[in-house]
Amino acid sequence: MRINKYIASSGFCSRRKADELIEAGRVRVNGEVVKLLGYEIRTKDKVSIDNKPLRTMKLEYYRFYKPTGYITTSSDEKGRKTIYDILPDEMSHLNPVGRLDKDSSGLLILTNDGNLVYELTHPSIKVAKVYRVTVDAFLKVEDLERLASGIELEKGKIAYCDCEIIERKKDETLLEITLYQGMNRQIRRMIEFLGHNVIHLKRIRHATIDLVGLKKGQFKAIKPKQIKELKAYLDKIKEKEGI
């Protein structure tokens, strides 16, 4: 296993943070500084960070139903409320997998498994994220086709999504939208491109994990069987993409 993945899998930090530690010369293997990100760890190798032995932590996995009005971060210089104002102190070490903006609600996966965070958020691994989105307009089939074909939100960056109409009223449409990308405020910006606005946005599923059984502000541990299914899902995607 590569050293950055090994560190992230221990629960010590994310894979990105592990890369930073390695490049800074803070990681040693069998007493020797290692700066090669692709360095392969063997079974008997002893890894240390800042001269302290790396210990495998208990990996934790939770589902959390984020309400609107909270940002997805541990602190905010503007003094806005964060999800950690809701969560108990003993969960403050867990990291959210991806983000939901302040005005959005729904599923967040929380974990200290840095490798899982990496695989669920890396752009090369096309993980499905499903949302229920209410738009302030009667959308037509052509609108959905435009969203699916792709919209250039930034120079050289094309945003796309799969859409399905759940319900339509005279001046409102409820959509189910599936993303395989992670661009900032992607859904809201795509709808704005069509000349409309998002009224409500809720994430209902991330990969194989969903919101079922959760109320707003509530969290529950993800069962080992569900984690096994999630990792099998990711392995299939990586195999298909040749990763």
Residue boundaries of the structural domains of the chain = 3-53, 61-124+208-241, 129-206
d(CA 21, CA 196) in angstroms, rounded, equals 44
For the cut 90, the answer to whether the pLDDT of residue 224 exceeds it is: yes
| CATH class of the 129-206 domain in this structure | alpha beta
Instruction: Please state, rounded to an integer, the average pLDDT across all residues of the chain.
Output: 92
pLDDT band of residue 16 (cuts 50, 70, 90) is: confident
Chain position carrying tokens 């208990």: 58
Homologous superfamily of domain range 3-53: RNA-binding S4 domain (3.10.290.10)
For helices 15-23 and 114-121, the axis angle rounded to 10 degrees is 110
Mean pLDDT, residues 149-173 taken together: 92
| CA 42 to each of CA 130, 150, 161: distance values in angstroms, whole numbers, following the listed order | 39, 44, 41
Beta bridge partners of 132: 176, 202
Domains 61-124+208-241 and 129-206 share a fold: yes
d(CA 26, CA 50) in angstroms, rounded, equals 5
pLDDT, tens only, 130-143:
999 999 999 999 99
Amino acid at residue number 85: D
Mean pLDDT, residues 104-124 taken together: 93
pLDDT band of residue 65 (cuts 50, 70, 90) is: very high
176 Cβ contact partners less than 8 Å away, ≥ 6 residues apart: 130, 131, 132, 133, 163, 164, 166
pTM: 0.85
User: Is 101 considered catalytic here?
Assistant: yes
Burial 148-172 (b: 16+ CB within 10 A, else e): eeebebeeeeebbbebeeeeeeeee
Return the CATH number of the domain spanning residue range 61-124+208-241. 3.30.70.580
Q: Provide the pairing of β-strand 162-169 with 172-179.
A: antiparallel
Residues 4, 15: contact at Cβ < 8 Å?
Answer: yes
Mean pLDDT, residues 80-91 taken together: 92
For the cut 90, the answer to whether the pLDDT of residue 62 exceeds it is: yes
The whole-angstrom distance between residue 93's C-alpha and the CA centroid of its chain comes to 16
d(CA 75, CA 83) in angstroms, rounded, equals 9
Token code pair at residue 72? 């997805």
Token code pair at residue 181? 């990308």
Beta bridge partners of 9: none
pLDDT band of residue 176 (cuts 50, 70, 90) is: very high
CA angle centred on 45, ends 40 and 50, rounded to 5°: 95
| Candidate list 85, 89, 101, 162, residue with the active-site label | 101
